[in-house]
Structures are given as structure tokens and as C-alpha cells.
Structure 1
Amino acid sequence: MEIVYVYLKKRSEFGKQCNFSDRQAELSIDIPPNPQLMEQFVVRDPVDTGIQCSTDMSEHEVNTERFEMETRGINHLEGGWPKDVNPLELEQTIRFRKKVEKDENYINAILQLGYVMEHCIKQNNAIDIYGEYFDEDDSVEVSDEVLSAKTINVFRDPNEIKRTATHLSWHPDANRKLAVAYSCLDFQRANVNMSLESFIWDLENPNKPELSLKPASPLVTLEYNPKDAHVLIGGCYNGQIACWDTRKGSLVAELSTIEFSHRDPVFGALWLQSKTGTECFSASTDGQVMWWDIRKISEPTEILVMDVSRKGILENALGAITLEFEPTMPTKFMVGTEQGVVISCNRKAKTIAEKIVCTFSGHHGPIYALQRNPFYPKNFLTVGDWAVRIWSEESRESCIMWTKYHMAYITDGAWSPQRPAVFFTTKMDGTVDIWDFVFKQSDPALSLKVCDEALFSLKVQDNGCFLACGSQLGTTTLLEVSPGLCNLQRNEKNAMSSIFERETRREKILEARHREMRLKEKGRAELRDEEGDETKVSQEQLLAIAEEEFFDVIKTEMKRRETGTKKAKRYDELETEEGGMEGEQHLEDEEYRQDDEEQEEEEEEEDEKMPKE
């Protein structure tokens, strides 16, 4: 049986019908040939034509709508959190999560949604449509790239009297601006006519600074606020803390009163991780660490004296030069001192003794740089004297890794934010060293001569590709490193983690051995103290024995000399009585007789000593 289905459609739905028919042809137009026009015909072979006026031009106008561009900003906040919870504070978010997880409605909602998501999860586990089954990255890559760095820009101090670029700070948002603090750190050698200004530079305009910051005293340190890019905090040479708002211009927006400020230059100032984004703290060589709130910056909110004896005596405090603060550890911070000691502190401790947790000592001079590894915060880097040292918080007595001693003094250093094994250092001979501990540990992977004068400051951009270094004459050089130094290598994290763990374990073993030796020495010292009187008696006996031996030697020598004198007298007597030859012969016979008697006595003594059969 054949199945047939007929589709029907109305004729009106096909549109107007066309009717065609046959008819005779019609002439629409007829143009006969014109002989006069034929005479004007010119063959182009080629042809030059002279004219008196310009060629004909056509004009065309089009009315279009104007396109206007406008840039607008949006303040985006992480959603879903209550108003009383700051999503940037790790402790508050963890506390809120624990509170929500205990709620019964939350548990019921998760159980209901779990059945809905289970089907999708099983589908994803069945087949991965995004999986690359022939991944080329599985093969071992051997990179033949030559490590290099090139100069991108140079920002020179526009003033005639040159000053040292003491500190650098990158703009937190786009990293297109660089704030540079200028100061003369030579004690009582600053020129009277020296400018006090510091500058903010635009990376694309090295000829002129974008904004001048005008403090009352030269700036030693300068830092952008990570939460508000318009606000900067600066530490002055006279010990004051100054705050700028770039929207208000070059003048200082807030300034601490000199009575409640530091007594020495402020070498370190950092922003804290807070809800308001207005808290910071500073350190100075006067031995104090002060906490500030820029909303009320007239006096500090808290003061900590760097007294390692934990008594809080300012006269015994160590001068602070560098600060280190990790936002993931909001209660901990570290201070590098002039005496080569790193002090680890806990701000939330109740007493002064508890606030200073421990110390790390190993440098011969001031610590100019102190920074935690961005991937492994328990390990930190210090720069002082002629070497760089890497420490672990688990090993407090000595560092776990260090570089060789250089001929030039090392002035600053910083970790790469993209690679855990790479760090940068600057030296007094104008050289920037780039170290890669996965590739080589004895020498830098790349050494670059930047300028002839000494380099004093260093700052690495967040992407790790650009670094800025400031010199003694106020010249700031912007460098770009090759991709091999800023791109994370394969298995680099695991390699550095194993290196840090291995070296930490080795130092722990050495520390335990040293501790054991110290305990043994202490036990010996205690034993010597207990036997003090006996030791004195034994010392007197030794002195008596030594004196007795000394006098025995003297008596023996005196007897020998007396015997020689008697022989000489006897010889003279015989010579006088019996004559020359006879007296001399008589003396020889007498000597022979004495020698024979001594030999017989020795033989008798040996016979007595021999055992009887």
C-alpha cells in the first residue's frame, strides 16, 4: 500500500499572477550615425591636450550622526555579604561562613540543591568536552632563551642639586605611574638650597613629572594606598608622617605633629589591611614603631619600642630601617634594624614582652631590605652588608640559604611577584643582579650594569616584567626583563618548596647538634664550678711539681759546673807538681779510672734489675 500525502495551498498565497502573451516587436529609440561627430573622433595614441582651467570636480555631502565617547567608572563590591562583614577581612569572612554553615535552613537548601547538581556533575565526570587528549605541553620543554633585560625609560631629577632616590612605589591600579621619594641621607651634608620636592612620574612621559609632592622635610619613604590610589603616605627626614591626596594638589593633606612623631628619619612606612583603608604604621632609627590613622594623624594610636630585652626601654632599643607586612598575616609584622637583627613581632599581643616574638641575627651591617616570599610567606629575604640571606620562621638561629659575599655593598632587594625562585638586588657599583635559585645558586642568572653611580632603591611591578631602580644622583631607571625571568616555569613551585623544606630540615639538624654541644659545655662548666676547690688544689700541686723540676734542673747544672771547676783545679795542681806531660798523663789516668768506676756501678745496677732464673 502506497502512502500519499497531498499538500494544498491557496493561489492567493503565491502572490500576483503573471500573464504572458505574444505580440509584435516595437522600436523604442533610433539614433542614426552623425558624420560631423565622426570627424571629431581622435584616436588615443597617445594624445596631449592643452587646457586653461582645472579639471572638473564633483562635490558630495552626507549628513551623519556624531559619535560621542564617554568613559565611566563603576565601583564594584563583592556581593552577597552583610553590611557588617568586610569581604576583604579574612577573619570576618571565615567567622561568617562558620555561622551560616550551622544554620538549619542552609543545610536543607544545600541538600535540595545537591540532587540538582549531582546530575550535572556526573555528566562532567562521564566525558570532559574541554579535555585536550593530545596536549603538547606534556613534552619536556627545553628553553634556549637567553636571559636579558633592557632599559625602557629613564626619569631624572629635574633639580640642579641632585638627591638620592631613596624609595619607589608603583601605582596600585594600572601600574602606569611611579612615585619616587628624594632625599639626602648623608648626615649633616645636605645642601641648604636643596629642593624638598618628591615626584610622581607617568611612565609614558619621562621628560616632566606628572605631580610634585611638597613636604616640609625631604621624604625618605613614600607609599601608595592599595585601597585608594589617590592617597599616599610619606615618612620625612625630620621624623614626621605626611599624607597626600592627589586630587587636592601638591600640598600636604595631613601631617603629624612633631612632638608626637619620630625623633629620627622615617625609613619605613606601610599601609595596613583594615576596613577603612586609613591605617598605617612607620619605623625609624629612633627605635620606635608607631601606628597611625590618617583621619586623625596628629598623634599615633600605638607605639612599640624595639627593645629585644622586652623591657620597653627606649635607650636599649635597636634602630629600625625596614618594615615587612603581609596582608595574609594581619597580626604579624617584621622589622629590620641597623644592628643586622630582624625582629618578628605580634601586634595583637597583650604585653610588650609578648609583642616581640623572636629575633633573627646574621648580618654584619644594617638590613636595607626585608620581604617575605609571595608564594611561601614563612620564608623571607634580607639584604645587608655584602650578602643576601633567606630565612625560615621555623629556623631562628641561622639562615637556610645565602649568597656569596660580593665586592660591592648590597643596598636593596625584592622577590619577583610571579616566580618564587627569582629575586632582584641592587649594589653600590650601579649593578642590578637577578637571581634564579632553580637555575643557579652560586652566581646571579643575570647581572646588568645600569649606571655609573650607586643604586639605592628597587621596586618590582606586580606583573614581574618591569622593575625600577633609583640611583644616588636621583636617576630612576625602568627595566624590562625577558619572559624567562617573569613567567612561571614548570614545576617551579614544587622545586622551591622542596628546596626550602630541605634546607630548613638541614638547619634544624645543625641547630639540634649545636644545642647538644652547648648543653655538654654547660654541664662541664657546672662540674668545674662544683670542683672549684679541688681544681685550685690540683693547680697548686702542678705549680709545686713544676717548681721542683725547675730547681732540679738548676741543681744538676750547678753540680756539672762545680765538677768542671774541680777538674780544672786538679789539672793545674798536677801540672805544677809533676810537669807538663807527666801531669797531663796522670790526669787522663785519673779520668779513665773515674769512668771505669761509673761504668762498673751502672753494670751492677743493671744486674740487680735483671730477673733471677
Structure 2
Amino acid sequence: MFTDGTAPGVSVESLWRSARSTRCEAKSCQTGKISTAEAAVQSHTSQDAAVQTDQRSDAAQGFQQEVQVDETGLLSFLQRVESAVIKELNKNWKSHAFDGFGVNWREQSKTVLCLHRLSYPEAQQQKLQVTSVSWNATGAVVACSYGHLEDGDWSTAKSYVCTWNLERRGLNPQRPDLVVDVPSSVMSLAFHPSQPSLLAGGLFSGELVVWDTSRTEDPVVWRTGITDDTHTEPVYQLARGEAAVGVTSLSFSPLDPCVLVVGAEGGAPLKCRPAAACRRAPAELAFAPHAGPVYSLSCSPFHRNLFLSCGTDGQVHLHSMLQPQPLLALQLSQQYLFCVRWSPARPLLFAAAAGEGVVHLFDLGKSSQKPAVSMEQSVGQGPVHCLEFNCRQPQLLAAGDASGTVRVWQLSSDFTEQGARELKHLEQLASETRG
């Protein structure tokens, strides 16, 4: 049988490695030295030569010959026409044919674009209408009120006031920055002219409320409540001035704070002065009436005696406060006109909100017969109830309609840049007399 066993180790030394190491030698090699030399070469002489064709003897020589000028005849001609030329130059200098013409290197644009379509879905689900819009003092925030213009519920008609900051990054047109629940329909809205966060509203119940839009919790800072001294009818319009007048519409003159124009249900605008400013009767002059209630008035920001009115007859009247008859009567719509506003940038431009769901821009400098452009806002969905120009950014126009939507329109330069003769044209309109 096999058994395990161990044997001592055996080592064998390498004879090749020891012999190899003794024969190693170091060697080196180098090529022979290479000779180099440098030399420069330069020419000693140079010569230029030109080649030209010979001129033919029969070549045309009209342009080669010196022009002969009859200096005596030229002087005689200039002396003869001098007086006539000076006369025409003086005539052109006094002419106004090119007054108002200015070189504009930018391409003129007459387009109107809809920048934003703002809405509050919960108000739309309740079929509430936009009753009023207003821009704040900075021109960055637009507010709208919701309610019903044709009627209202004194106890259960809940409504809203919403604001959007159009300069906020990530603007959501269907998610307002601020939503205020109001227990009664809000019929009118107006931001404070210098404090951007203060917003006043007139309710269907007759109350007046002031909100501070910078406060997200309990923004109400003042309200009149319902007492014997407050309104007992809906407040359809708000304005800041020296007196409060309860009528269907009103407009204070921005150039004369003691003068305001009011519109009554009978259709006649009235020129008034607040009772504190004079001891006479507040109504100084009654103007030719519309064929129905006056829904809106707007005093010109460029002329102290001009104002616009519109109403249920679909007409816009241009009035002078110095005479009862209108200077112009423009039939803009076959339905009601709910609002009219002068442009803060163009003396001859105004906008009107029509019952057909259209916003008309009218340029009296271009035509007194038809609108310059008509923007279809809510055609087939109800009238446009309200509109306001942005005084800080006059290229922006906000309009609210019966579908519960506020559209912000961007006007092109043609509707925002004032012409050189525009104020003079406005003065000519104001000086016209109607019997």
C-alpha cells in the first residue's frame, strides 16, 4: 500500500544568468559632424514698366474735352430768377402744409393684440359678469369686479373682486393674485390715484367699501354700512373729487377739479359744481339729451371744455361745456353703449364698449364717421360692459364683458403717439358752434 512521505528540498543555481552578467558592456555611437552655412541674396537693380493702348484719332472726345461754361449767361439767368425763387421760398417757409409731419424711422404698426384673457372660473360658473375694471397707480395691477348689471339679489347674490399683477413672473390668467369675497354684487370699482394698494368699490346694496389689496387676510379697511345717510340704491360709478353725486354716471374734469359732468336716467348730461365750491345751484347747464339713460361720461384730459357721453341709444356725443348742443353725434352701435373713455396719450382718440361685444377705437383725426378699428371681444356672448386705459402704460386697454372675462389689449404706436397738430385739431373742434 502507498504511504505519505517527505523529502528534503533541492536548489539548482543558474549558470546562464551569472555568465550573462559578466559579459554585459556599455556602448554608444554618434554620427559625424554636419557642416552648415548661411547666405543672403539681394538683387542690385529694379525697373518698372507700364503698357497703355494708343488713343485712336476718331475716338469720342466729348468727355475728354473741357466743358465750356458761359459764365456771363449763367449770371444773367440767376439774376433774372432770383426774385421768383426767393418769393417761393418765403411762401414755403410760411406754409403749414407739412405741419405735423415727423420723420419716424420705426415701422408704423396699426395692429391691436390681445395680450391677456383674465378670468376667475368660480365667478364664471355662477354666470357673473365683469361690471367694472380699474388700473392701479403703478399701471402694473388690473382689478375687476363681478356682479349683475341688469338686476341683483339683495341677500344672496355673492360676488368677487379680483386683481392680477401683469408684471408678475408666472402669471396665471385664471388664478388672480387676490380674490375678495363680497356679499353683494359689486357694481363699480376704482383704485386710489396715488396709493397703489387702495381699491374702492360700490355695491348693489348701496354700500361703499375700501380694500387694501396688499393685505391677503381681511383686506377691508373701511365700509359705510347701510344707514339713513348712505346710498339706498346701487352705486354704479365711483370718482375721486370734492363732492359725491348719486346719478347714473359722472366724470370730474382733470383740468378743473371744481367742475364735473353727471348723467341722469332721463338722458341729459348736466354740468355741475360741487355745493362747497359755490353758493349757486350745482347744475349750471343741461346738455341735449340722449334717447335714453346716460351710461358713461368722460372728460377730456387735454381740453377743459370737452367731454364724451354715451348711452342706450348707441350714440357717442362730443360736447363742449360752453353750449348745450353736441359738437358731434356718432352712431357707433345699434345696441347700448356701456362705456366711453378718452385716451390718456392721444387727444383725438377714444374707446367705446358696445352691446354687440365689440370695443371700438375712434380716431377723430382720421375720421368722424367710422371707427379706426373694432376689436371683437365677446361677440355672441354678451356686451362689453366696461373699459379703462392704463395711464402709466397707455398702450394697454382693459375691457370686461358679460362672459366674465377681462381682456387686456395692446395698442400699436399709431394709437399711442401724439401727432404734432393733434392738439390744434382738438382746439378747432372745441371752438365750433352748434345752434
**TM-score of the two chains, using structure 2 as the length reference:** 0.70
Q: Identify the structure with bigger relative contact order (alpha carbons < 8 Å, sequence gap 6+).
A: 2
CA distance in 2: counterparts of 1:445 and 1:432, whole angstroms: 11
Q: Is structure 2 residue 357 aligned with structure 1 residue 388? A: no
What are the Cα deviations for residues 159-179 of structure 1, in whole angstroms up to 9, with x where unaligned? Answer: 121211111110112x11111
> Could you say which residue in structure 2 is the equivalent of 1:435?
362
Q: Secondary structure at 1:185's aligned position in 2? A: coil
Q: Distance in 2 between matches of 1:185 and 1:476?
A: 16
- In the other structure, the counterpart of 2:329 is 402
Deviation at 1:362, TM superposition (A): 2.2
Alignment of 1:44-123 (within 5 A): none
Tell me which residue corresponds to 2:268.
341
The answer for the alignment partner of 1:363 in structure 2 is 290
Cα distance in structure 1, aligned partners of 2:260 and 2:101: 43
2:348/2:422 contact within 8 Å kept: yes
Structure 1 runs not aligned, ≥5 long? 1-33, 36-135, 273-279, 284-288, 290-319, 511-613
For residue 252 of structure 1, report the CA deviation from its aligned partner.
2.0
Structure 2 match to 1:461:
390
Shift of 1:144: 8.2
1:471 pairs, out of 392, 401, 419, with 401
Task: Flag the structure with larger Rg.
Answer: 1
Separation in structure 1 between the aligned mates of residue 389 and residue 371 of structure 2, nearest angstrom:
17
| Change over 3 Å in CA distance of 1:198–1:334 after alignment to 2 | same
Deviation at 1:257, TM superposition (A): 2.8
Specify whether residues 282 and 248 from structure 1 end up closer, same or farther in structure 2 by C-alpha distance, changes over 3 A only: farther
Residues 197-276 of structure 1: pairs in structure 2 closer than 5 A: 197-203=160-166, 204=168, 205=171, 206-249=173-216, 250-259=218-227, 260-272=229-241
Change (3 A) 1:202 1:339: same
Q: CA deviation at 1:343?
A: 1.8
Distance 1:354 1:431, change over 3 A: same
C-alpha distance in structure 1 between counterparts of 2:340 and 2:315, whole Å: 11
Richer in helix (by share): 1
Aligned to 1:587: none
1:185 aligns with 2:149: yes
2:99 and 2:421 in contact (8 A); partners too: no
Unmatched 5+ residue regions in structure 2? 1-27, 30-97
Q: Distance in 1 between matches of 2:331 and 2:107?
A: 27
Q: Which amino acid aligns with 1:389?
A: H
Identify the match of residue 112 of structure 2 among 121, 133, 149.
149
SS of the residue aligned with 1:271? coil
Q: Residues 138 and 476 from structure 1, CA distance in 2 versus in 1: closer, same or farther, beyond 3 angstroms? A: closer
Equivalent positions of 1:8-19 (< 5 A) are: none
Distance in 2 (alpha carbons) for counterparts of 1:471 and 1:421: 25
- 322 and 191 in structure 1: CA distance in 2 versus 1, 3 angstrom threshold: closer
Structure 2 Cα separation of the partners of residues 354 and 213 of structure 1: 40
Percent identical = 23
Query: Aligned partners of 2:256, 2:99: CA distance in 1, in Å?
Result: 36
Matches within 5 A, 1:300-319: none
Q: How many aligned residue pairs are there?
A: 326
Retained in 1: the 8 A contact 2:206–2:233?
Answer: yes
Q: Using a 3 Å threshold, how does the CA distance of structure 1 residues 162 and 493 change in structure 2: closer, same or farther?
A: same
CA contact (8 A) 2:335 2:355 kept: yes
What is the CA-CA distance between 1:433 and the residue it aligns to? 0.9
Q: Which structure is higher in strand share?
A: 2
State the shift of 1:207 in Å: 2.9
> Relative to 1, partners in 2 of residues 1:354 and 1:137: Cα closer, same or farther, differing over 3 Å?
closer
Q: Distance in 1 between matches of 2:100 and 2:194?
A: 41
2-structure distance, mates of 1:475, 1:216: 21
CA contact (8 A) 1:334 1:345 kept: yes
CA distance in 2, matches of 1:486, 1:409: 27
Distance 1:354 1:484, change over 3 A: same
2:214 maps to amino acid: R
